[in-house]
């Protein structure tokens, strides 16, 4: 299973997607430990727009990079997902959020 994370705008009743990313659920535990699980996996209600999660993503990314050795021990034993892959995913999502701050978040995990 995996998380599908997208950003979109709504125009004339249609969704115009500006970002689409996917990551394994196996990295959810690490995401939780750095405070970004909810804003990526379950943003509904609290986080509606990309700009709503920028600060959390920046903080989580900083923790991941600064303390990567601390979080590597939580990598899935089955080998599906690494801390490094989560870093790349968060960087990608963060860049998209900064580029499209008023886009709507859609998360299907």
CA dihedral 44, 46, 51, 55 (to 10 degrees): -120
Residue of 81, 91, 27, 33 whose CA lies nearest to 58: 91
pLDDT of residue 79: 82
User: Residue range 67-87: average pLDDT?
Assistant: 91
Average pLDDT over residues 34-51: 95
Q: How confident is the model at residue 102 (pLDDT cuts 50, 70, 90)?
A: very high
Structural domains of the chain, count = 1
Rounded to an integer, the average pLDDT of 30-53 is 95
Provide the pLDDT for residue 30: 96
Distance between CA 106 and CA 94 in Å, rounded? Answer: 14
Residue 1 domain-assigned (yes or no): no
For residue 80, give its domain range.
Answer: 24-100
What are the Cα distances from residue 15, in Å, to 7, 54, 62, 74, 109?
9, 22, 32, 36, 19
Mean pLDDT for the chain?
Answer: 95
The sheet carrying 14-24 orders its strands as 14-24, 2-11, 104-108
Q: What is the pTM of this model?
A: 0.93
- For residue 1, the model assigns a pLDDT of 79
- The whole-number pLDDT of residue 78 equals 86
């Amino acid at each position: 299973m995996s998380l599908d994370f997208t950003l979109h705008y709504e125009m004339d009743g249609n969704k115009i997607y500006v970002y689409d990313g996917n990551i394994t659920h196996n990295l959810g535990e690490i995401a939780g430990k750095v405070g970004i699980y909810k804003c990526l996996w379950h943003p509904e209600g609290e986080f509606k727009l990309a700009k709503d999660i920028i600060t959390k993503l920046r903080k989580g990314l900083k923790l991941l990079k600064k303390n990567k050795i601390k979080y590597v021990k939580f990598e899935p034993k089955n080998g599906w997902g690494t801390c490094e892959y989560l870093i790349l995913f968060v960087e990608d999502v963060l860049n998209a959020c900064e580029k499209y701050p008023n886009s709507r978040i859609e998360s299907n995990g």
